[in-house]
Amino acid sequence: MADEDQSKKAKEDQSNKKTNNPKSYQVRKECIKRKSMELATLCDIKVCTVITGPNGQLQTWPDNLDACKEVLDLYSQNLKPEKKHKESSTPVPEPEEEQGEKDLLTLVESKLTAVNRRIRFLENKNVAIADKGKRKIIE
């Protein structure tokens, strides 16, 4: 029992050392910044990373705060719901829940159709196998 308690404490101490280690934080921070840069380059998208250090300091990637603010503004604009205009003649987009339900229904219907096709195929295959011994081939 005492050995178990000591081993638990040793594991907790070891994990605390890893998370509180400034070198470990530095390595992880650089990795996050590198991955953000790769994501922005490879996917051709705007990326901003905000990292809070163990002592509460904030660091960003890219280092230019104007670029970070631009990405954050784009993000906040995408979170705002679109206003519905009564006078507009353009169709009003459906709420996301209804669109999601329609997408799910379409998916389920397509899967059901595929399953029904497969059942018919297997039924026909079984009939053909059962009839194979009874039928005579006429040439």
For the chain, list the domains and their CATH numbers. 22-78 (3.40.1810.10)
3-state secondary structure the chain: CHHHHHHHHHHHHHHHHHHHCHHHHHHHHHHHHHHHHHHHHHHCCCCCEEEECCCCCEEEECCCHHHHHHHHHHHHHHHCCCCCCCCCCCCCCCCHHHHHHHHHHHHHHHHHHHHHHHHHHHHHHHHHHHHHCCCCCCC
Task: Match 């995408």 to its residue by tokens.
Answer: 78
pLDDT digits (tens, 9 = 90+) for 11-46: 666 655 555 678 888 999 999 999 999 999 999 998
pLDDT digits (tens, 9 = 90+) for 106-137: 888 888 888 888 888 888 877 666 666 565 55
Instruction: Please tell me whether the overall predicted TM-score, pTM, comes out greater than 0.75 for this model.
Output: no
**Residue 139 pLDDT grade (very low, low, confident, very high; cuts 50, 70, 90):** very low
pLDDT value for 115: 83
pLDDT digits (tens, 9 = 90+) for 30-88: 999 999 999 999 999 989 998 888 888 888 889 888 888 888 888 888 876 655 555 55
